[in-house]
């Protein structure tokens, strides 16, 4: 059965990979992001291939705008089957005692509070319909801190705990909850972390073949299409030469 899939942060990286993979699966897509032009480009790309796409322009940190957009969904789009909480970012790679207050606030407001906003807006309908699936994009960084990762690691640890808590809260229903924990994925993640320093960002991936957004999207689509009695609760996805968040063998 074709599903209605809402993906936050759908304009690049894992979010874009999920948009393309769920489209290939024949699903209808609600794509959200901050960049209206990029959303329109992706909408055109996917609709040209036969996918039904609705785009919503908002920042998940803006609870009021997010609420307005979700409440204003046309009736035929309201019964969301899959929520992919993908919007997130890392900013800075300094010791905690030298970190930027602004970077911390942006990460906490996006990675934690934004995810909670979308969950609060969409999951009640899933519980009422007794069906649905929430896929949160966490990180290997949520399992253990790495040097200079401090606050980012803390936000992804929060994603794990929030995901586990939600799974307990909906266990009496047929709603499923998944936490995907990628390791080293080559997206614009590092470029964002280093505030546009492309050369520094490129060094992150030197000497190792990293994961791609499509690799993570493959797992998301698999989890969403598992038999109804199967809940893929948590998946850690690493590059072959990555042992953990802090152990990467470069060749």
Q: Which residues are catalytic?
A: 152
Question: What DSSP string runs through the chain?
Answer: ---EEEESSTTSHHHHHHHHHHHHTT-EEEEEES-HHHHHHHHHHHHTTT--EEEEE--TT-HHHHHHHHHT--GGG-S--EEEE----------GGG--HHHHHHHIIIIIIIHHHHHHHHHHHHHHHT--EEEEE--GGGTS--TTTHHHHHHHHHHHHHHHHHHHHTTTSS-EEEEEEE-SB-SSHHHHHTTT-HHHHHHTTTTS--B-HHHHHHHHHHHHTS-TT----EEEE--TTB-SSS-B---
Cα(79)–Cα(53) distance, rounded to whole angstroms?
15
Q: Which residues contact 203 (CB under 8 A, 6 or more apart)?
A: none
Cα(122)–Cα(132) distance, rounded to whole angstroms?
10
């Amino acid at each position: 059965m074709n599903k209605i899939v809402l993906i936050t942060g759908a304009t690049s990286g894992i979010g874009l990979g999920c948009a393309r993979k769920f489209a290939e699966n024949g699903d209808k897509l609600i794509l959200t992001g901050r960049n209206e032009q990029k959303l329109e480009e992706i909408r055109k790309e996917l609709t040209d291939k036969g996918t039904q796409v609705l785009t919503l322009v908002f920042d998940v940190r803006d609870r009021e705008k997010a609420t307005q957009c979700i409440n204003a969904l046309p009736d035929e789009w309201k019964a969301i089957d899959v929520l992919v909480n993908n919007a997130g970012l890392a900013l800075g790679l300094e010791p905690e005692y030298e970190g930027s207050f602004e970077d911390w606030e942006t990460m906490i407001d996006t990675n934690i509070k934004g995810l909670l906003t979308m969950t609060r807006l969409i999951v009640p309908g899933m519980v009422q319909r007794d069906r649905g699936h929430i896929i949160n994009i966490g990180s290997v960084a949520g399992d253990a801190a790495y040097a200079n990762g401090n606050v980012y690691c803390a936000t992804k640890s929060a994603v794990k705990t929030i995901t586990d808590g939600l799974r307990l809260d909906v266990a009496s229903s047929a709603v499923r909850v998944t936490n995907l924990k990628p390791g080293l994925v080559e997206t614009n993640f590092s470029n964002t972390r280093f505030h546009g320093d492309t050369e520094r960002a490129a060094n992150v991936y030197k000497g190792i073949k990293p994961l791609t957004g499509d690799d993570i999207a493959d797992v998301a689509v698999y989890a969403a299409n598992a038999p109804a009695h199967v809940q893929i609760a948590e998946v850690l996805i690493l590059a072959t030469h990555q042992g953990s968040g802090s152990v990467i063998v470069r060749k």
